[in-house]
Chains A and B, each alone.
Chain A
Amino acid sequence: MARLGHEATSYAPPLEMPEMELVHPKTFIGKYVFSQDAKVIAIQYFITATSIGLVALVLSILIRLQLGFPGTFSFLDPSSYLQHVTMHGMIMVVYLLTALLLGAFGNYLIPLMCGARDMVFPWLNMLSYWTYLTAVLILVASFFVPGGPTGAGWTLYPPQAITPGTPGYDWGIILMLVSLAVFIAGFTMGGLNYVVTILQARTRGMTLMRLPLTIWGIFMATVLALLAFPALLVAALMMLMDMLAGTSFFMPTMIALGEQTGYEDGSPLLFQHLFWFFGHPEVYIVALPAFGIVSDILATHARRNIFGYRMMVWALIAIGGLSFVVWAHHMYVSGMNPYFGFLFATTTLIIAVPTALKVYNWVLTLWKGNIQLTVPMLFAIGFIFTFVNGGLSGLFLGNVTVDVPLADTYFVVGHFHMVMAVAPIMVIFGAIYHWYPKVTGRMMNDTLGKWHFWITFIGTYGIYYPMHYIGLAGVPRRYYAYGETGFIPDSVISLNAAITIAAIVVALAQLLFFYNMFHSYFRGREAGPNPWNATTLEWQTEHTPPHHGNFGRELPVVYRWAYDYGVPGARHDFIPQNVSPDDVETLPEGQEVPAR
């Protein structure tokens, strides 16, 4: 016992936790449709976000068909190309990544990992999902209205976004702005729940510094989202007023289609400030939960405690704080005061410090770990590669002088897809393979999972790595076709065709994933309660999948952090958070922990 370093007399006896009154509906609709159980809401979020994400995936293939084989497909004209680009970007960033990481993973994991029965405000939680679904449906409606969805680019910059001649001028842009406003209202309801549940509903002994990093990541991301989304809301409302009521918040005096518009002296730059005041924190709203989840996957599958836990927590907080003072690095080419640019370049480079700390800590967690190359682990390691890659190209773009020539080229497309598309998606896949056994009670197929990983990992490099070279060659982004452009060499054209083929292969590989997910639900190997021998509370539930209320009659009591892997002297290579020091099985003196 002494070798474990615990004082047996020092733990407090388990106190009674205030019990929640849970709604236990009897009907199918109450249980699975208008459910107030965070786990069901999580699955609803997952299904909705994945469905709309698949639409965005198809759009990306359409974009790539045009870029790889320009002029070949008659159904792709300049307008539809711009619409596809816009909808692809907005859906992926807001309606897929944000909703999946916070809505789906947040709802499933927060109560379970904190040791709570459910979210603190279950009814509001349910309302949050239905509001999100409404936002998605409004967005989808824009595909079917006259003029189609907006083609203003995912940043929706005015004056272009609401100027006649831009695709989706009639209805698309209005539906997009309304949908965003509804999304933000829905998110605020969910976000309140996540923050209050983490602060208030942790079980006894689950101190802040014993929370798994997944929860820390989701917590900080939610705080950022609650403070940053209002910027998008204000911008959307003001643009709606410009569009519908004819105010001139953003719209300058201008001539459109040969006629003077009614707008006077508005400031498009003001929109950019508001948009990016949301837009940059949004990067971290997506990244921080991914940072947290990947930390837990790495520790669990390397059978090693996370390196520098406190540093990881502070880094999350530092990144969150700094993310509010870097927004103008998206606006270097908007014509700002050079000193202003210098300031934002400096803050941008400073944010690299806590981010790099995290990367070092992930790598050091793997160092001398008992690495199990499971599918979740492969995806987690894949994340480290893609994130470092995307982060390094970010250092180029963070500097004003380098950014100015590169800002409108494919270098930027390569950069942000690497860092904010592929990296979080790697984590999302890792997380699904990791937690699927808890959600369904069955394991996903390992071989299919590995095929899925390798094709996706190598394939995405095949897509985005060449884009950096194309960008350095000066090829501009956002263009439908380049025509007879002298400075674009033939090699770029061949590369573009190759990228498109890689994109199609990666998209098809996702069928493996979906097949695996559906097939395993019925035919997968029984998982048991804790197939990864993990320490966190969700693996210690009485039932798998957990019932409504999560835990048995009594809530678990937490005695330790979430990273007691390979503790010297312990019989097993992991000690769950709810095992008291008295109950830890120890080895006789001199005997080593058996390798798994």
Chain B
Amino acid sequence: MTVTLIFLALLLGTFLTWIVRQSLNVRPWASADGPSVNESDSLPPAATPARVGLAVFLAAVTSLFALSISAYTMRMELSGDWIPLAPPPLLWLNTLLLVVGSVGLQRAWDGARRNRLAQVRSGLKLGGAATVAFIVGQLFVWMQLQAAGHHLVTNPATAFFYLITALHAVHLLGGLIAWVRAMVLASRGESMRDIHVSAELCALYWHFLLLLWFILFGMLLVT
């Protein structure tokens, strides 16, 4: 549980600092004296509801993966039957695809910021295609493992490999729903404000899942 506890300590520490800063010099019982009506404790204007919503969701997703990593390390230590699984080399190519996916969505986001609809469209297309290719690539990895005799039940290390890669892929698939929405908005040429919000959320989510993949892949390589 160390991994999860470190994550939670960081998260709650940040939250606590923010809350204490908001509340230390405040006299809640005093009515309407200047600063409290000045919205001094509001989040900065850049923190739009959509961004904050995404951040909160990512915190929950991080908790899910931190717990999966904790379960992985605990299961490894608690029993003596763990046989490490060498991750197939195809994963390197898949990682590259995911990087391309992230770059594509970043391009879309940049395009939306600069009001360039064509760039948004091409970025989204590149991002979506690379992501689909990544998921197909992960399926190929699974098939390779099956062919090599590494089934779900072979060993807990294999079972965890399938579980963790599947969880990650499911989150990408969920992201693709948001991506479809962004695509629809962009292809219909809806207002750039809506497209911007949509593309930005996709890009941030993809960067997060890429970072997460680096951590998961690193863990699979090291252990």
Q: Give the contacting residue for B56; candidates A11, A192, A228, A310; CB below 8 A.
A: A192
Question: Are B29 and A241 neighbours in the complex by a CB distance under 8 Å?
Answer: no
Report if A262-B153 is in contact (Cβ < 8 Å); known contacts: A204-B37, A209-B41: yes
Which residues on the A side are within 8 Å of B79 (C-beta)? 265-267
Which residues on the A side are within 8 Å of B187 (C-beta)? none
Minimum CB–CB distance for A282 against chain B, Å? 14
Question: Are B19 and A317 neighbours in the complex by a CB distance under 8 Å?
Answer: yes
Minimum CB–CB distance for A156 against chain B, Å? 16
For residue B222, CB closer than 8 A to chain A, the reply is no
- Fill in one digit per residue for A388-404: 1 if any B CB lies within 8 Å of its CB, else 0: 00000000000000000
For residue B132, CB closer than 8 A to chain A, the reply is no
For residue A336, CB closer than 8 A to chain B, the reply is no
Which residues on the A side are within 8 Å of B19 (C-beta)? 208, 313, 317
Which residues on the A side are within 8 Å of B20 (C-beta)? 314
* Cα A581 to Cα B32 with chains together (Å): 8
Which residues on the B side are within 8 Å of A313 (C-beta)? 19, 23
Q: Which of A312-343 contact B (CB under 8 A)?
A: 313-314, 317, 320-321, 324-325
For residue A29, CB closer than 8 A to chain B, the reply is no
Question: Are B37 and A205 neighbours in the complex by a CB distance under 8 Å?
Answer: yes
Report if A227-B37 is in contact (Cβ < 8 Å); known contacts: A199-B52, A559-B32: no
Report if A196-B53 is in contact (Cβ < 8 Å); known contacts: A205-B37, A209-B36, A248-B156: yes
Question: Are B60 and A10 neighbours in the complex by a CB distance under 8 Å?
Answer: no
Report if A561-B28 is in contact (Cβ < 8 Å); known contacts: A195-B56, A208-B41, A209-B41: yes
Q: Which of A553-580 contact B (CB under 8 A)?
A: 559-561, 563-564, 575, 580
For residue A249, CB closer than 8 A to chain B, the reply is yes
Which residues on the A side are within 8 Å of B39 (C-beta)? 204, 207
Question: Are A249 and B40 neighbours in the complex by a CB distance under 8 Å?
Answer: no
Minimum CB–CB distance for A357 against chain B, Å? 15
Report if A245-B23 is in contact (Cβ < 8 Å); known contacts: A230-B60, A230-B67: no
For residue A238, CB closer than 8 A to chain B, the reply is yes
* Cα A246 to Cα B64 with chains together (Å): 23
**Chain B interface residue count, Cβ-Cβ cutoff 8 angstroms:** 54
- Fill in one digit per residue for A1-34: 1 if any B CB lies within 8 Å of its CB, else 0: 0001111001110000000000000000000000
For residue B165, CB closer than 8 A to chain A, the reply is no
Q: Give the contacting residue for B64; candidates A201, A210, A233, A270; CB below 8 A.
A: A233
Q: Give the contacting residue for A241; candidates B1, B80, B163; CB below 8 A.
A: B163
Question: Are A309 and B156 neighbours in the complex by a CB distance under 8 Å?
Answer: no
* Cα A228 to Cα B8 with chains together (Å): 10
Question: Are B64 and A208 neighbours in the complex by a CB distance under 8 Å?
Answer: no
Minimum CB–CB distance for A299 against chain B, Å? 12
* Cα A192 to Cα B163 with chains together (Å): 25
Minimum CB–CB distance for B125 against chain A, Å? 27
- Fill in one digit per residue for A298-313: 1 if any B CB lies within 8 Å of its CB, else 0: 0000000100011001
For residue B12, CB closer than 8 A to chain A, the reply is yes
* Cα A200 to Cα B50 with chains together (Å): 10
Q: Give the contacting residue for A265; candidates B36, B71, B81; CB below 8 A.
A: B81
Question: Are A305 and B29 neighbours in the complex by a CB distance under 8 Å?
Answer: yes
Which residues on the A side are within 8 Å of B156 (C-beta)? 247-249, 265-266
- Fill in one digit per residue for A180-214: 1 if any B CB lies within 8 Å of its CB, else 0: 00000000100110011001110011011110000
Which residues on the B side are within 8 Å of A325 (C-beta)? 5
Which residues on the A side are within 8 Å of B41 (C-beta)? 207-209
For residue A231, CB closer than 8 A to chain B, the reply is yes
Which residues on the A side are within 8 Å of B78 (C-beta)? 267, 269-270
Question: Are B32 and A209 neighbours in the complex by a CB distance under 8 Å?
Answer: no
- Nearest CB in chain A to that of B166: its residue: A237
* Cα A269 to Cα B78 with chains together (Å): 9
Question: Are A7 and B33 neighbours in the complex by a CB distance under 8 Å?
Answer: yes
Question: Are A247 and B152 neighbours in the complex by a CB distance under 8 Å?
Answer: yes
Question: Are A310 and B53 neighbours in the complex by a CB distance under 8 Å?
Answer: no
Which residues on the A side are within 8 Å of B12 (C-beta)? 320-321, 324
Question: Are A196 and B52 neighbours in the complex by a CB distance under 8 Å?
Answer: yes
- Nearest CB in chain A to that of B18: its residue: A208
For residue B22, CB closer than 8 A to chain A, the reply is yes
* Cα A120 to Cα B53 with chains together (Å): 9
Interface residues of B (CB under 8 A from A): 1, 4-5, 8, 11-12, 15-16, 19-20, 22-23, 26, 28-34, 36-41, 43, 47-49, 52-53, 56-57, 59-61, 63-64, 67-68, 71, 74-75, 78-81, 152-153, 156, 159, 163, 167
Interface residues of A (CB under 8 A from B): 4-7, 10-12, 120-121, 188, 191-192, 195-196, 199-201, 204-205, 207-210, 223, 226-231, 233-234, 237-238, 241, 245-249, 262, 264-267, 269-270, 273-274, 277, 305, 309-310, 313-314, 317, 320-321, 324-325, 559-561, 563-564, 575, 580-581
A sample of 14 cross-chain residue pairs with beta-carbon separation below 8 angstroms, ordered by A number, consists of A6-B32, A192-B57, A196-B49, A200-B52, A204-B37, A209-B23, A210-B28, A231-B67, A241-B163, A247-B152, A267-B79, A274-B71, A277-B4, A325-B5
Given A209-B28, A227-B59, A561-B29: 16 more A-B contacts, CB < 8 Å? A10-B33, A188-B60, A191-B56, A200-B47, A200-B52, A227-B60, A230-B61, A231-B4, A234-B67, A241-B159, A245-B152, A264-B81, A274-B71, A309-B28, A310-B26, A317-B15
